[in-house]
Structure 1
Amino acid sequence: MIPIAPIFVRSKEILEKLSLLLDDERLAYGEVNSQTILSLSEQKQTLLDEMNQLNEKRVNVLIKFDIVDRKNPTEEAFKKWLSLQDSSMDNVRLLMQECDTLLRQCKTKNNTNARILNTLQKRNKHLFELLQGHNSKNKVYTARGSTRPISSKHTLGRA
């Protein structure tokens, strides 16, 4: 028997935790709580690092048991092999499906959070330019071809 089920069990646990962290991150963006956002980011990175280690371990196990090609291990080769196995591997199939579903949910949540963060960054940049007295319509080209605002002598700080 191939010891792959425990790897998928742990992967599922990590993905569930990651999903909850992404929910918390979205709430933190709404509250604009930078400390919470930074803490959640560190927690996410820890989970992602562990997930990468698990994936490496899984690939190494699959290579060791000659399930996937040593030089080019692919997910498709593993899925094909798994589909040919008898019902003793049903638990692994189920765990893999659950992990795929959780992974898709995490990707959707992460993309949503990225859009929220992008919107917040644009808003903060606009507010910062207003404080500096820049008008987004008054821009000039730099030597490199990008644009930069023309600074005003009547900034909010000088008023």
Structure 2
Amino acid sequence: MLPVTPVFIKSKETLQQLSLLLDRERLAYGEQNSKLIIDLSNEKQSLLDEMNTLNEKRINILIKFDIVNRKKPTEKEFKDWLSKQDSSFDDLRLLIVECEALLNLCKNKNNTNARILLTLQKRNKHLFELLQGHNEKNKVYTARGSTKPISSKHTLGRA
């Protein structure tokens, strides 16, 4: 049996943890708990670092067993090799399918969280501009072509 199976098992566990963490991150955005969001972000980075390490380990094993090209290893090479193997590799095939499904789930959850974060950032920027007395109508173009609010003399802070 190919010693890459334990790497995929660990990858699956890490992806499951990442999926749960992304759910918690989404809830933290809803609660607007900045401390929790920062903690979850650090946890997420740690899990992503672990996934990168596991990926490097997997590639090194595949190179060592001469399954993929040493100079430019690709997933296609590995999958082509795996498709030619007998039924004793069915467990590995299933594990790979599960990992790919989890990875896609994590990508979707992360994209959803990114959209939520962008919406929160826009809302907070708008509220901040309101506090500063900026108005959508009182904007000018900068040298780069973007818009910049003009300060008003009647801000909430001066009221």
Percent sequence identity over matched residues? 75
Equivalent position amino acid for 1:72 in 2: K
CA distance in 2, matches of 1:74, 1:66: 12
Which residue does 2:78 correspond to in 1?
Answer: 78
- Unpaired runs of 5+ residues, structure 2, are none
Which residue does 2:7 correspond to in 1?
Answer: 7
After superposition, what is the alpha-carbon deviation per residue over 1:48-107, rounded to whole angstroms, capped at 9, x for unaligned? 001000000000000010100111100011001001111111111011000000000000
CA distance in 1, matches of 2:21, 2:61: 29
SS of the residue corresponding to residue 72 of structure 1 reads coil
After superposition, what is the alpha-carbon deviation per residue over 1:121-154, rounded to whole angstroms, capped at 9, x for unaligned? 0000000000000002211122333321110000
Equivalent position amino acid for 1:95 in 2: L
Which residue does 1:105 correspond to in 2?
Answer: 105
Moved more, 139-148 or 102-111: 139-148
TM-score (norm 2): 0.98
Write out aligned runs for 1:1-159 (5 A): 1-159=1-159
CA distance in 2, matches of 1:41, 1:144: 32
Equivalent position amino acid for 2:22 in 1: L
- Unpaired runs of 5+ residues, structure 1, are none
CA distance in 2, matches of 1:32, 1:64: 47
CA distance in 1, matches of 2:25, 2:148: 32
SS of the residue corresponding to residue 148 of structure 1 reads strand
Runs of 4+ in 1 over 2 A off after TM superposition: 142-146
Q: CA RMSD in A?
A: 0.8
CA distance in 2, matches of 1:143, 1:109: 37
1:33 positional shift: 0.3
SS of the residue corresponding to residue 112 of structure 1 reads helix
SS of the residue corresponding to residue 122 of structure 2 reads helix
SS of the residue corresponding to residue 148 of structure 2 reads strand
Equivalent position amino acid for 1:130 in 2: L
